[in-house]
A and B are shown apart, each in its own frame.
Chain A
Amino acid sequence: MISRRSLLRAMLGALLVPLAGVSIAALPSRRVVRPPGAIEEERFLEICVRCGACIEACFRDGRGTLEPCGLPDGPPLMGTPKVNPLRAPCEALYGKCENKLPCIRSCPTGALKWVEPDEIKLGSVKWSPRLCIAFLGGTCLVCAEVCPVPGAITPEGRIPIFHPDRCVGCGRCVYACPADPKALVLVPDGEVRYRWRRGSSR
């Protein structure tokens, strides 16, 4: 028999669980840079099962760029993959990973969708002149030196000029920036995301 008390308790619990779910989803979260082929963010959070297969695949031959989002990125994002150029640049763009994209291939749900490497735009870089060695008068243009995209970083005199529209967001410049703290951050601004379709992971 269910007592009056336990029934009320159960009803309250049933009310609280979805409420908790909703409030977690409403917690503030950062905009992170997603792996290549990521579908639109709202859908991505629903479809991605946080299995970590893409992260593991990215590290298969040594170092990789992907890592799971943590608490600072926002609770709803926890466990989903993000690009961290401080680990390594995304080699899918002009690098050793070209045409292989193990992250997309390993995704079991279609949260990462097959794309051609030259369609990828993960985001762009943001420059903080006040941290930049070149801007402060030093000899550095390492960002422009390592940038594989023609016209994305052009030196003007001894200072780098960034062109976010050309940038594909590989993160090479962020990785290589010798300033401490780094004068460059990879942000998802200008990213190209994809529409989700059932069974579209390949």
Chain B
Amino acid sequence: MRLNLSRRNFIKLAGGLALASLGLGALGYSLGWFSPREQAVFEKESRTASRADGERSLVSFVRGRDAREMVRAAVEIIGGIEGVVKPGSRVLIKPNVGFNRVEAVTSPEILGAVIELVKEADPADIIVAESAVRGYDTSSNFDRVGVREVARELGVRLIDLDKEDRAVKTKIRGRVLQEVSVFKQALDADVIISVPKLKRHSQAVVTISLKNMMGIMPDDQKGMFHVLGLDQCIADLNTAFKPDLAIVDAIEVMTVSGPGMGKMVPGNAVLASRDPVALDLVAAEYLFKLEGHADPLRAAMNVPHIRLAAELGVGTNDISRIELIRREPG
């Protein structure tokens, strides 16, 4: 068959094609074919903004012996798990399992207690996910520090993000970062719970709930943070991916040096907050106190990434706006 392309026919054909593509585009748009990711991020941003300003940030500090009781009490004080996890939501729990040695990771007891607590809020889905420090195999870390066992016992999915290969580029509004590559699981989650271990860090001074969020990114992106400036990048990342709830394992605290090896000091505490900046400030102060620092609060205020995160409105580092509620055994 040969097309008889007269001037008239050509115009007709072109017009028809244009109309058809327009229709297809409209259909695609209504079905969300284009950039559903960006939508997700804007939701996250608005969620962040609604909580950043306004009332005081509650931080709980619970000392004790039993991990389960401490986690329960710490979350109860700041309003209970129901305040964070709505029934039917998808929850991502992000422990720190960056290394393969027990003292450098979130203790399985604390993680187990958090999972149990989250289960009570009746979410649709709970995943425990991590991408370890570059050069460490996440799955092997899970095995060796006892995280795999806890996840199996409690029947939650444990995800080695490095094996997922589903990182997506996401627009954020940071000072240095305008775009960040994160694993899809973090975008899909309705609620992110950061469960870090309280540790010293050779580059970020401390690693608590803000720094812990680096584990939702693939290795190349983590590397870029060091090239672009680690402290600002951590703050930037948390503008879009800050945890909705953070629970700090301060049972054994890594002091003096870290994050791989340091002087282990018993802290016997669990801290929790919905404001990761306020929480990291309080936890860092505790760490410096354990180190015997002359002015632990000042040292905590001077941690660059905590200060920068506060400047970007991720949370507050203004102690007059932080309400610290302590509970000691007695």
Contact = CB atoms under 8 A, between A and B. Distances in A.
> Are A and B physically bound partners?
yes
A158 B201 CA distance: 12
Nearest to A94: B100
B133 A145 contact: yes
Main secondary structure of the interface of A (DSSP, over half): loop
Nearest to A144: B202
Tier of interface size on chain B? 20 to 34
Nearest to B258: A145
B156 interface: no
B136 A138 contact: no
B47 interface: no
Given A139-B203, A142-B226, A178-B226, A172 B137 contact: no
Interface stretch (A6-14, A51-59, A106-114, A146-154): A146-154
Contacts of A144: 202, 260
Contacts of B201: 145
Indicate the member of B140, B203, B257 with the most A CB atoms within 10 Å.
Answer: B203
B261 A150 contact: yes
B163 to A, nearest CB: 8
Given A95-B140, A145-B203, A176 B227 contact: no
B223 interface: yes
A95 B100 contact: yes
Tier of interface size on chain A? 20 to 34
Given A96-B100, A180-B227, A173 B135 contact: yes
A48 interface: no
A120 interface: no
A145 B201 CA distance: 8
Contacts of B140: 91, 95-96
A133 B140 CA distance: 29
12 contacts: A89-B135, A91-B140, A95-B137, A95-B140, A139-B204, A139-B231, A140-B230, A141-B203, A145-B201, A172-B135, A172-B136, A178-B223
Given A96-B139, A145-B133, 20 more contacts: A62-B137, A95-B136, A96-B100, A96-B137, A96-B140, A139-B204, A139-B226, A140-B226, A140-B227, A142-B203, A145-B201, A145-B202, A145-B259, A145-B260, A146-B133, A146-B134, A150-B261, A155-B202, A172-B135, A180-B227
Interface of A: 62, 89, 91, 94-96, 133, 138-142, 144-148, 150, 155, 158, 172-173, 175-176, 178-180
